[in-house]
Structure 1
Amino acid sequence: MIIKKLITSLVLLPFLASTMGAQTKRYEKKIDSIIQAEFGNRAEPGGVFLITQNGKNLYRKAFGKANLELNVNMVPENVFQVGSMTKQFTAVAILMLEQEGKLNVNDPISKYIKDYPNGDKITIHHLLTHTSGIKDFTKMKSLSSIAQKEMKPQEMVDFFKNEPVDFAPGEKFDYNNSGYVVLGYIIELVSGASYEDFITKNIFDKAGMSHSYYASDRKVIPQRAYGYHKKEQGFVNKTVISFSVPFSSGSLMSTVDDMLKWQQALLKNTLLNPAETQKAFQKYKLNNGEEFTYGYGWHLKDINGIPDREHGGSVFGFKSMGVYIPGEDIYVIGFSNCDCHSPTEVTRNIAKATLSEIKTSSKKP
């Protein structure tokens, strides 16, 4: 009887292996087609996409060119500017300082920046959740006057702090880059380190993110993907800005592999204890009791009715998007080196397809 079962198992093994292989190929083909609809031209700037479940790679591919002038193909190891995905790191840095007892998210910002207008009414929590009402510097007409200047964090805060507020703190959710610049300045004031040094030492180094950086156009960064815009006459190199302007709201660089390490560090409480981590991933309420779908540095939405955490980024020449589905431990990250190609919907559609594949596979015997 035992021998009969063993023979049956040995006969079935190749069949199961070929079935699983066919499923894997079908899934890969499906993901390829989703990405190629937006990133299909090999001669253009492209992107990199990574899909993981339980920390293991399901899919990892590069598309298009990392450098048009040198005709260099994109590879999965390329380094991209991540834009507003920087906000995740800024939010976690604030929570790390709270964990150390150096600040409290309910502190008014006047505790740290004495002369900030209405600073006794605006809290760190308001900055983290985009509910502060302060003017977003990216919407100010005078931004072009400083875009290429080297700005100190205090100078950046001074640039927008006296602008009329859009609403009272806690009254509305309105996505706001200025709030995250103020947070970066507070990180420097409280920690005594520069934002760049704090993030490098306390996050990148601890999470093993050895290919992540505070952005620079002067440093030699191995495997850097170059950024592009698309104009009527064709592609042009990205507009040059001083990274001291977006600062802690959008000036970090990374790879898809390093972003997985970031996700794993959050999941395993490498950087924060569970109580502090929970603060980043819970929904909050406005003054009128209405709940909104943003935590600290992440949008809290859903895909096909399944809760997710997501955030994108856009900075001259680059776009990024990351989706994490806690219930299935699925992480999808997409980077683009042209602001003409957006990975936002592509990444969400990949997440939907992956959920569907997992659901189908789980039904099979």
Structure 2
Amino acid sequence: MKKLFVVFILWIFTGPFTIEAQNLENAVDTIILRDFKDKDGPGGVFMIAHHGKPVYQKAFGKANLELGDDLTTDNVFQLGSMTKQFTAVAILMLEQQGKLSVGDPVSKYISDYPNGNKITIHHLLTHTSGIKDFTKMKSLADIAQKEMTPKMMVDFFKDEPVDFAPGEKFDYNNAGYVLLGYLIELVSGEKYEEYIRGHIFDKVGMTRSYYASDRKVIKGRAYGYQKKESGYVNKTVINFSVPFSSGSLMSTISDMLKWQNALNKNILLDTAETRKAFSRYKLNNGEEFSYGYGWHIRDINKVPTREHGGSIFGFKTMAVYIPGEDIYVIGLSNCDCHSPTKLTGDIATMALTFLRGVRKDNP
């Protein structure tokens, strides 16, 4: 009788949550399989974490079409513009150390930068600088496969006519984040790759995260693909020194959860600097826009979120964090024919419904 009583009590406290988890898994599978139903093609990996721990993680499709290897949740993906989160936090870490200020003009570090006395680090972080985005330049094809130093990249776009005066409007801009990577090198005295690895990856325990390379042997790499009329093809090759600090990092869903948890626990930034990353800012005319430092500041059904995606040849990525409920949803795809953006948003909406109110100490 005692054993039956114990089983009954355990069912009361864990049974409903188990059923809820099963329902969540089935619902999420249904959402993902809308777009990731080709078992023999490239696919993606998805994770939902609640209170810092995974409650759902699955892989769909192939990691390598030539070898027929299935994707797993441990595969390494190129992050694309999710790299901007790391660049922004690196800048804030340097500010925290007193080595720079986000209010500093670019001219303080690059004396000959055009209009550099009016463009601040804050403008670069918030995509409000007005400088020409190099990804929109026709001459980009001339350098796409060349090894470029950060200075060469900055010189490539710095003399282009500006699109607007600093602070006049928000316009998503990769060049601004390349310039931020160059500033990180100038201020820290370290290469961007070394700074991110030594001060972020190593400190957080992100052992499966890298500065991207097509030449290095990277265990568990997911290969990138594109889809043409004839079928899937290997991704277009670029030199990662071109996207640089705007889009050249690689990681896994597990490492990205470590990253999110480190931000929550103020392991890298204190409260004041963290607040700067996740605040909304205003244009010169007082109009507020929905971007902080490296994250879009949005909402799901009026519940605040922090979001960012990425797109680079062969890969698309997206992550949504709901701070009020400590829910983190991430999707990484190894074909730029599959965008996880809407799926991740739909999953986050569903997870919010399923997981809201679940206690931290629930099994």
Q: TM-score, length-normalised on structure 2? A: 0.96
Aligned pairs, number: 359
Counterpart of 1:57 in structure 2 is 54
The offset of 1:281, in angstroms, is: 0.4
Between the aligned partners of 1:241 and 1:360, the Cα distance in structure 2 is: 45
Q: Deviations over 1:71-124 (max 9, x none)?
A: 000000000000000000000000011111110100000000111000000000
Counterpart of 1:276 in structure 2 is 273
Counterpart of 2:38 in structure 1 is 41
Counterpart of 1:83 in structure 2 is 80
Counterpart of 2:196 in structure 1 is 199
Q: 1:149-228 alignment to 2 at 5 Å? A: 149-228=146-225
**CA distance 1:11–1:92, shift in 2 (3 Å):** closer
Between the aligned partners of 2:196 and 2:190, the Cα distance in structure 1 is: 10
The offset of 1:9, in angstroms, is: 6.5
User: 2:134 matched to 1:145?
Assistant: no
Q: Match of 1:229, SS?
A: strand
Which AA in structure 2 matches 1:205? D
Contact 2:325 2:356 (8 Å CA) reproduced: no
Q: Match of 1:38, SS?
A: coil
User: 2:297 matched to 1:285?
Assistant: no
Match of 1:103 among 96, 100, 103: 100
Which AA in structure 2 matches 1:14? W
Counterpart of 2:328 in structure 1 is 331
Between the aligned partners of 1:284 and 1:327, the Cα distance in structure 2 is: 20
Which AA in structure 2 matches 1:337? N
Q: Deviations over 1:179-216 (max 9, x none)?
A: 00000000000111000000000000000000000000
Match of 2:241 among 244, 247, 253: 244
User: 2:348 matched to 1:351?
Assistant: yes
**CA distance 1:271–1:18, shift in 2 (3 Å):** closer
Q: Match of 1:310, SS?
A: strand
Which AA in structure 1 matches 2:266? N
Which AA in structure 2 matches 1:216? S
Between the aligned partners of 1:94 and 1:148, the Cα distance in structure 2 is: 27
Which AA in structure 2 matches 1:241? I
Q: Match of 2:33, SS?
A: helix
Between the aligned partners of 2:224 and 2:5, the Cα distance in structure 1 is: 56
**CA distance 1:361–1:90, shift in 2 (3 Å):** closer
**CA distance 1:11–1:211, shift in 2 (3 Å):** closer
Which AA in structure 1 matches 2:127? H
Between the aligned partners of 1:287 and 1:305, the Cα distance in structure 2 is: 26
**CA distance 1:273–1:359, shift in 2 (3 Å):** closer
Contact 2:181 2:244 (8 Å CA) reproduced: yes
Identity %: 68
